[in-house]
Structure 1
Amino acid sequence: MNPITAVSTVVSAAAAVVQAVSQAKTVFWGSHLSKLVLTDNAEDNARIINDAFAVLLSHVKDSNKMESSETCKEWISQVKDFAAEYDKRSKESSFWSPSSSDYIEQRRNMLEKIKKLMQKKYEMMVDSSPERVVKSSRVPDISRFRTLQEPLEQTLVLLEHDKIKSICIHGTVGIGKTTIMRNLNNHEQVAKKFDIVIWLKVSKEESEENLSREHLQQDIVQRLKLNIGDTSNAREVAKKISMELEHKRYLLLLDDVKDCLDLSEIGIPESNNCSKIVLTTRVLDDCSEMVDREIKVKCLSRVEAWQMFQDVLRQTELIEDKKTKQIAEQLCKDCGGLPLVIEKVANTFKWKAKDDLWVDGLNSWRGWVKRECQGIRELYELLKQFCYDNLDDDQCKNCFLYGALYPEDTDINKNDLLECWEANNLLFDGNSATNGNSILDYLHKLSILEEGKSMDHVKMDKFIRQVAVYVTEDYPEHRHLVKASKALKQSPDVKFWGEMNRISLGDNKLDQLPDSPDCPTLSTLFLQKNLCLERIPDLFFKNMKKLGVLDLSHTGLILLPPSISSLDSLKILYLVDCKNLRNLPSDIDGLKQLETLDIRGNAFNNIPLQIEKLSCLRRLRVSFTKSGNESVHLNYDIISKLPKLEELIIDVNSVEELPNEMVDNIIKEVATLQQFKSLKICLSKKVAVVLEVKSSRSLHICSPETAFALYLTTNSSWRDAISAFEFYIGCQNSEVSQFPKFLKYDKYIKYCNGASSSFPFPEALAKADALELVNHKDIKQLSDFGVASMNMVQGCLIERCDAIETIVGDSAVLPKVEHLFLKNLPKLESIWKGPGLTKLTTLVLISCQMLVKIFPAGVIQQLHEVQYLKIDKCQKIEEIIAESDAVRNLNVLPKLKELILLDMPKLRSVCAIESLEWGSLEKIEILKCPILLKLPFNKDNAAKLETIEAEQEWWEKLQWQNDEVKERLQKLCTLSS
């Protein structure tokens, strides 16, 4: 290279440095300083020095704006001194004259000074640049706990997906979400993939949005080591953050997100350079709009929990003793698989060196309310923060605390809970039912309430319940006395009763109560499940003027005391399964406010005559038992004398059926009531129900046909007002819809255990938009019920109908069906024989053993709307889409988004033609399909595919068109062992 070319190269390098620093503010001097050398050409030397000096001055300008450290100020001062010298020397003509004797030496010294100042600046900037990853210290090793390791591995896989930008890890408090995130933050794969990892703890005490945004911005500024000077304007700070991250590949970790965040307001830029966001939350719905994928964290298995307990204990010799080990195992079991609780409890007990201390500790632990138990106070406070302090408002908090009144591990009936909330004035909204259900949903989403034994029940975890008990001790306005499930034989000292707002003594062995406790503020009294309680003192209720809820269910009561008539504030009286109670007191006029009376499961054989005096009664639930030659007298004429009655449940036990005349008379009575909403007659084989849906009069009925017809014709205002209904026909003990929760229908019929080709209520079926057919004995195809009768059905579920051979025969039934679920149909040979279901969006097939072909020839061409296809345990199916159909049209199922194939031993092909288009497919899941060895994808035909879920062993056996296709799809995989 000749000297001129060499000089040009150096000058270009210097110019590149000037541009890079001034525009992108990125330090390149570390690699370019050594390239700046002088030549024999005076003009080139002048240009090199001037360009280098210009770069130096540009850094001074930037430093004045962005940095204020003492080191930086000192450097700026040194540059200014040098600049003065440079300015003075540059004005001397001899400085630039090659004839000067020390020309080369002067130029070399000047350039060296510039290089030293730039080197110092470079070192300052390198020292102040943020680390790629700030590793969390003392991160628990979760590699041995599959329940925690699996969400971590799933997250790492999803981070490799180019199209997935945000991931949510969710689960209840204390389940290990933050621990998983810390392991993610420290993972080597993360450090290699991203330029910078930013961890933000989102939840703070500040409730206002602007304060929350401010603290997040401050954390980011600190993490990025940005100098924002005196800037306090959030938009300006966001702009600086965005500029800093715009060209970086970042991973943003947001821990404990409670609301949907607008990250652009904070300064997080939209990125197309593989930047990612991972967040944790307790409630997925709160931030669902922010994420592309979600991963749920589950509780540890019993084996994992015990392993973790021992790990924290670290002193295995403590539990070598058989007795101590049994206590430790019981403690661990009581922790419910929550790592947070396991850690706290194990740490509390590991200092107990003797087995008797372990026994005492177990008793204290199970008492919980003894908060002086060392180490437990902190756990209480932590759970209190999540379960109480962070609830939306006082209404939700009060409803949560009310749950502590129910005995531990009790299934709580949702309707009962809502009624009690309402009676205690905890539901402030005008529409109490709607408001109450929204609070139930909210508490369920937070995992404060769990699903109970059925969809009609909820449960409260023992720890969460004890937190509620704990909270009430610190809030005098609640004042709860909770001694449920304590095996008490004597009630608490009467001196404590008078201070309480609510008392719960349920599920004990009480056989007597105080004579006349003075309880001026008592609003709820739970005495249920005290089977030994046969009598209550006559004056027991005399001084309970504010009592609103009284539960005496499942007791041995023979009579109610006279003082019950003094409860003029009582709104709810539960007397369920008091099997020795044969009647109500003759004088119940005093129950002026009573709204709910439940006397099911008692020894009544009629509706007590006294009930007609309860003018405010809204809900009446009664049952009758026929014994010997006694006859059942319903006294149904009482019904029309209750003007505010909304709900009537009549449960007739040990009676095969009521005379149609009696059912007809009941319906006549309720038809005269203007506020009536719900009738339910429960027989051994039949159920009749009418209920309210969406605040409009609606029907939910299964009764003799004559009764239904009579009901429709008795009151024209009722008939005309019916805009929604639910029919359960022959569905004793199965009054639950099996449709997925996201499918809501206004006009719904469930028909069980039928044996006739004539549908019981064709008039209703003709209007229904949803039909469930379960365990029908005879029909071979759906059109046996009549074509016109199903023209409005949009959702159809057919299960355990042993005779059915096809769904749609030669006649066009279900023309509007969108969602079709077929389960356990042993003789089903085809879905279609005639016209296809052109509006179908969902098709689910489970355990249809005789089905060979899903789509008959030509039918698939009509299915333009199908988005979800699931096939499970269909043993004879060999291919999903026939080759002949694919040849005719490469764009079949154009809107299919999700394909799930499970447990099909003979499935050999999804589609034999690999050029088939999958224009909308986003997810495919394949499990237990051992001879399916090829996927119908090439490098171009499934551009929107984001997720493949499968087994690792199966994936490794797949045959590929080429390595390019395999590598592309490998990035989308979530593989299980």
Structure 2
Amino acid sequence: MDAAIAGGATSLALEAGKSVFQYIIHQFGHVKNIDKNFRKFEDKACDLFNRRDDVKNDISTNAVQKTPTKECEAWLKKVEDVEKQVTILKIRYDKARKCLCGWCPFWSLFKLSKDLEDMANILYDLKIEGILGNGVLTERERRTVEKKHVQSVQDIPSHDGVLQEILKYLRDESIKRIGIWGMPGVGKTTIMKNLNDAGDLNKMFDIVIWVTVSKESGVREFQLQKEVVQRLKLHVEGSIDQVATIISEELQAKKYLLLLDEVTSVVNLHDIGIRKNHSGGKVVLATRNKNVCHKMETDEEIKVQRLSKDDAWKMFREKVGSEIVDHPDMEPLAKLLVKECGGLPQMISVVAVILRKNNNQDLWRHTLRQLQCPSFSKMEHWEEVLKTFKLGYEQLSDDDRRNCLLYEALYPEDHDIDTSYLMECWNNEGFISRAGNLREARENGTAILKDLLDGCLLERSDKVECVKMPMLFRGPALRITSLNREGARLLVKAGIREPPTEEEWKHAKRISLMSTQLCTLPERPDCCMISTLFLRSNSDLNTIPESFFGYMCSLRVLDLSETKIKSLPSSVSSLINLRGLYLYCCRQLVELPIQLIELKSLEVLDIDQTGISDMPIEIGELTGLKCFRASFTSIANHNHTNGNSNRVMIPQNVFSKLSLLEELKINVDPHIVNVVAKEVANLKQLSTLFFSFPRTEGLEIFIQNSTSWENNNFRSFKFHVGPYNDKHDSSTEYPMERRLIFSAGEETPPAVSEVLSQAYAFELVSHKSIHKLSDFGIGRLNRLKMCLIKECNNMESLIGDNAGKDSALPFLEKLYLINLPKLEKIFEGSMQSKTLTRLTTLVLNECPRLKKIFSGNMISKLSELQNLRIENCSVIEEIIVEAENQILESNALLPKLKNLQLFDLPKLTRICQDITLDWPSLERIEIKRCMQLKNLPLSGDNASKLKLIEGSEDWWKTLMWQDDSIKEQLRPFCHFI
């Protein structure tokens, strides 16, 4: 039994020993294969890291357009983690190799070999995982379209129809190339920009590429390719073929839309990189020529037609401004202009740039004539006109404009130049071509002036109806004239005491010696080329040498205004080409020489405010005269009348000889007004008249007898009806070409009402009986843009209940109500839709019974009000009185109000009740002597454009606020007086 047990134990021992031996042999195999395992490990690591590098390179190459998928990012993180383990295993292996030369523990080698084998398997599995079933990259979120932010054509069916047709074709997978074509200016670019901005494109394409194609054939493909590369954000260099290949590869898998605008000739898209085998690519091109579409193998062509009549009118009205176009004087012209534009949006836009917010009929008529001129029937001629809007002398469209611009350099630096006078000089010099009469010359001149202003070559002066040349431009203008090919130049001297030298006189084309200290002139300067001579505002000049004008036969403009000359020399007879003679305010000049009759070319004569007491009979011999300004009054010239009240101030029938006279400004004694008015009424060409009628009888005589008035030929007038007073000339500084002043009247005479119906500005002063402005008739007020009512003791309201359903004062922009002791309301009854809707300025002064200014629905009509001034109105308690249950259309009652002035209002307690109202345009608040005003309707953030709060510091301290922080917030805007 013992033996059996011993045998069993031996057998078990042998089996255990065998297993141990086999295990040791297996482990030894690991140790034996350590180098083999390492090589396998290294190969698998290299494979994995190569894959990792490929993925990273793919990510880097497409970093602009794409981003790694979430799966890819997780895989890369695993690779990053395992790379650390790989590095550790390599270090362990290197150490083990060194140990093999000496002694290295068996079990250490075994474990290393086993780890290498296991890591190789992990690396292999990770590489397989790196195939990334969901892909390496996904599209990066980016802008598919770079917006053009163009005005929508949705409301223009003629254009929107084309846009919708293009979108329909783009949705058709079989259509790859679309061409739109049509005549220049028909609106192709506008449609293309609307297509670019169409919201549907974001869903249809990965990227939209816009290119305006160069007209230069030599650089067209290069320029187009460059813009495509920039849009794709590729960083590539090489030949055009190499870049084309890269572009093609980049676009191969994309859904893209290429928009080509202004394609004037065939573009080889293949050479650029836009290939037909791009399954997701589409092209839309715009061209003038249908053949370009055919040669570029478009699948569909769409002709862009002219705008329909309705669309053209709608566009013109929108671009110019409905407030201008809808005016009864402008609408007929507007319709003619739209017709001449021929349904071309570009033409409408160009005309709109000229006319926008401009109600000058001269400019409108001139523009109409330009469109009607045959030379403008082709588009290339109109494109020449477009150049007038660009900066720079050389970019002006014609020599007329260039000459007109250079003429400004004759005036002293920073000098205010009256525009009416300036245009007369231009015309006298012959710079305004194609003008059959003075009216057309002014209209053309107005257009030229606007071009120069729009080109920033001239600028508006602070003085009404004046311009000036920017100081920076005056020097260059003088240099340009000095380089004139004819060798003629401007001679401009300022502040001199001595006249120019003989050589300077000889070589000058135009001479300006304005506002100098000259007291003498040369006897007979040699200046046969001179065409303009300005000697204006030389207060020390009192004598002109007898032969001074002997060599000035080419002179066309002579200005001696505001000098102290007492007479003109006989050599004035040499001025056979003189067209403009200006003697304004030469108060020492008491007579004109007999030689004046030799000036047969004279068109403009200004002897206003001179010492000449009677109209020289010789003026009747100036049959070419078109403009005459004079004053012959015994009051102004009592020193020359010698007490003779029976003298003939105006020779009989002298005006009948001046058959070409178009413009007349004349002051005469009241006792001869009716006679003169009847003579003036016979002037058939008359289009401008400045005249005072002491009594309405004189106005009636003129209205009843004037053919020119009957034919509605008047471009401009200023009629003063009633006793003359100089202060009425400066009542407002609002420029107006049709002004009526009616003073000290007792009724509403039909003649006054008739003129009022044609007036743009009306001043009603010291009327003795009128209760309401509307007593003249609501329809008579429709053209008014400015109205001043002053010292009318019985005026109770502006518009009474008799207005009915008619809109009152629909075009009124400025309203002045001054010293009206009985005025209680501005408006009675309900206001119609267009009443006062264009009012921008309201001034109220000395209206002691006026308690309410804005009430009921009146405030809602004043959305254009910008300036509000209220002064010396003793019973006003609140400016804006909201009606009960009034529903406001917006939170801003006066959304465009910029300036608020409140002076001497002793009972004013608040501006408005609701302090939450917005004042989005308010810039200035001026408060003076309104000590009961204890709060301002400001919350700190409801007047974002506020710049100034002006008032006394004592008043400021008394103000009450809902929160003291508001007061602190507004404190920086305060200016204490």
TM category (shorter chain) comes to: 0.5 to 0.7
Structure 2: how far apart are the matches of 1:20 and 1:451?
A: 59
Residues 614-658 of structure 1, C-alpha deviations (whole Å, 9 max, x = no match): 221212223332323244522142221122222233345xxxx43
What are the superposed Cα offsets for residues 558-612 of structure 1, whole Å, 9 maximum, x if unpaired? 4433332122221112233344433333234432311112233433222222223
CA offset digits 1:702-723 (Å, max 9, x no partner)? 4432221112222456424457
SS in 2 for 1:670: helix
User: Offset at 1:218?
Assistant: 7.5
- Closer/same/farther in 2, CA of residues 228 and 526 from structure 1, 3 Å limit: farther
Identity of aligned residues (%): 26
Match of residue 810, structure 2, among 818, 821, 827: 818
- Judge conservation of contact 1:596–1:618 (CA < 8 Å) in 2: yes
CA gap of 1:736–1:460, structure 2 versus 1, over 3 A, is: farther
Among 843, 848, 857, the alignment partner of 1:846 is: 843
* Unpaired runs of at least 5, structure 1: 1-12, 46-98, 130-205, 247-263, 267-287, 292-384, 682-686, 688-701, 939-944
Q: How far apart, CA to CA, are the structure 2 residues paired with 1:747 and 1:211?
A: 56
Partner of 1:706: 697
For 1:553 and 1:39, the matched residues in 2 are separated by: 95
Which residue matches 1:566? 574
Contact 2:686 2:708 in 1 (8 A): no
**1:421 counterpart = 2:426:** yes
The residue aligned with 1:316 is none
- Does 2:854 align with 1:867? no
**Are residue 436 (structure 1) and residue 445 (structure 2) matched?**
yes
Q: Note closer, same or farther for the CA distance 1:245–1:460 as it changes in structure 2 (3 Å cut).
A: farther
- Rounded to whole Å, the distance in 2 between the matches of 1:33 and 1:561 is 101
Change (3 A) 1:466 1:731: farther
SS of 1:395 mapped into structure 2: helix
Equivalent residues of 1:757, 1:785 under 8 A apart: no
Q: Find out whether 1:949 has 2:967 as its counterpart.
A: no
- Residue number among 406, 412, 415 corresponding to 1:401 in the alignment: 406
Contact 1:451 1:459 in 2 (8 A): yes
Are 1:644 and 2:660 an aligned pair? yes
8 Å contact 2:687–2:713 — kept in the other structure?
A: no
2: CA distance, partners of 1:420 / 1:555: 19
Q: 1:592 aligns with which of 575, 600, 610?
A: 600
Q: Is the 8 A contact 1:781 1:808 kept in 2?
A: no
- One-letter code aligned to 1:884: E
Question: Is the Cα contact below 8 Å between 1:727 and 1:749 reproduced in 2?
Answer: yes
State the partner residue of 1:182: none
Contact 2:577–2:599, Cα closer than 8 Å, also in 1: yes
AA at the equivalent of 2:701: L
- Asked if structure 1 preserves the Cα contact closer than 8 Å seen for 2:778 and 2:803, the reply is no
CA distance in structure 1 between the aligned counterparts of 2:727 and 2:236, rounded to whole angstroms:
67
Cα distance, 1:480 vs structure 2: 3.1
Letter paired with 1:105 = L
- In structure 1, C-alpha distance between the alignment counterparts of 2:225 and 2:820, rounded to whole Å: 61
Contact 1:408/1:484, CA 8 A, preserved across alignment: no
- How far the C-alpha of 1:207 sits from its partner, in A, is 13
Aligned residue in 2 for 1:884: 884
SS at match of 1:469: helix
Secondary structure at the counterpart of residue 396 of structure 1: helix
Structure 1 residues 213 and 453, CA, compared in 2 at 3 Å: closer, same or farther?
A: farther
1:475 aligns with 2:480: no
Verify the 8 A CA contact 2:516 2:537 in the aligned structure 1. Answer: yes
Letter in 2 for 1:816: A
CA displacement, residues 821-876 of structure 1 (integer Å, 9 cap, x when unaligned):
354456443223445455321455434565433355xx42x887553346444773
Q: Which amino acid aligns with 1:902?
A: L
Give the 5 Å matches for 1:310-349. none
* 2:762 paired residue among 763, 772, 793: 772
- Once residues 554 and 791 of structure 1 are traced to their aligned partners in structure 2, the CA distance between those partners, rounded to angstroms, is 39
Cα deviation for residue 768 of structure 1 reads 4.8
Whether the 8 Å CA contact 1:794–1:816 is kept in 2: the answer is no
Cα deviation, residue 106, structure 1: 4.4
Q: CA deviation at 1:421?
A: 0.8
Say which of 618, 622, 626 aligns to 2:638: 626
Alpha-carbon contact 2:543-2:565 (below 8 Å) kept: yes
- 1:457-478 per-residue CA deviation (whole Å, 9 max, x = no partner) reads 3344544433432332333447
* Partner SS, residue 945 of structure 2: strand
**How far does residue 402 in structure 1 lie from its aligned partner after superposition?**
0.9
Tell me the alpha carbon deviations over residues 505-557 of structure 1, each in whole angstroms, 9 at most, x when there is no partner: 23334344334333332211222334444444444333333221122333343
Partner deviation per Cα, 1:314-335 (whole Å, 9 max, x = no partner): xxxxxxxxxxxxxxxxxxxxxx
Q: Secondary structure at the match of 1:650?
A: strand
> What is the CA–CA distance in structure 1 between the aligned matches of 2:572 and 2:406, rounded to whole Å?
27
Partner Cα separation in structure 2 for residue 265 and residue 735 of structure 1: 61
- Tell me the TM-score normalised to structure 1 length: 0.53
Aligned residues: 631
Query: Residue in 2 aligned with 1:35?
Result: 74
Cα–Cα, structure 1 residues 817 and 443, in superposed 2: closer, same or farther, change >3 Å? same
Distance of 2:415 and 2:426 partners within structure 1: 17
Partners of 2:529 and 2:552 within 8 A in 1: yes
TM-score when normalising by structure 2: 0.53
Give how far 1:34 is off.
4.9
Residues 811 and 835 in structure 1, CA contact (< 8 A), matched pair in contact too: no
- Look up the SS of the partner of 1:648 in the other structure: strand
Post-superposition Cα deviations, 1:787-818, rounded to whole Å, max 9, x if no partner, equal 57857566563444474443334544885322
| Residue number among 878, 891, 900 corresponding to 1:902 in the alignment | 900
Matched, 1:105 2:129: no
Map 1:73-88 onto structure 2 (within 5 A): none
Aligned to 2:101: none
Change in 2 beyond 3 A, CA 1:442/1:211: farther
Return the alpha-carbon distance in structure 2 between the equivalents of residues 715 and 879 of structure 1.
47
- Name the CA shift for 1:223/1:728 in 2 (closer, same or farther; >3 Å): farther
Please give the secondary structure, in 2, of the residue aligned with 1:417.
Answer: helix
Contact 1:522/1:546 (CA < 8 Å) preserved in 2?
A: yes
Provide closer, same or farther for how the CA distance between residues 564 and 795 of structure 1 changes in structure 2, counting only shifts above 3 A: closer
Rate the CA distance shift 1:800–1:577 in 2: closer, same or farther, 3 A: closer
CA contact (8 A) 2:800 2:827 kept: yes
* 8 A Cα contact 1:826 1:847, kept in partner: no
Provide the C-alpha distance between the structure 2 equivalents of 1:778 and 1:679, rounded to a whole number of angstroms.
27
User: Is 1:749–2:740 an aligned residue pair?
Assistant: yes
Distance of 1:109 and 1:892 partners within structure 2: 66
Q: Does 1:830 align with 2:840?
A: no
Q: How far did residue 433 of structure 1 move?
A: 1.0
Aligned to 1:458: 467
Structure 2 equivalent of residue 583 of structure 1: 591
Look up the match of 2:65. Answer: 26
Corresponding letter in the other structure for 1:629: G
Report if the CA contact (8 A) 2:782-2:811 is conserved: no
Say if 1:959 and 1:812 are closer, same or farther in 2 by CA, change over 3 A: same
Q: Where does the alignment leave 5 or more consecutive residues of structure 2 unmatched?
A: 1-51, 83-116, 144-213, 258-283, 287-317, 322-389, 928-932, 950-955
Q: Does the 8 A contact of 2:925 with 2:948 survive in 1? A: no
Counterpart CA distance in 1 for 2:220 and 2:320 is: 17
Partner of 1:194: none
* DSSP 3-state at the match of 1:402: helix
SS of aligned partner of 1:643? coil
Provide the C-alpha distance between the structure 1 equivalents of 2:816 and 2:613, rounded to a whole number of angstroms: 43
Kept in 2, the 8 Å contact 1:387–1:448? The answer is yes
Q: Does 2:535 correspond to 1:527?
A: yes
Look up the SS of the partner of 1:884 in the other structure.
Answer: coil
Residue of structure 1 in register with 2:493 after alignment: 484
Aligned to 1:273: none
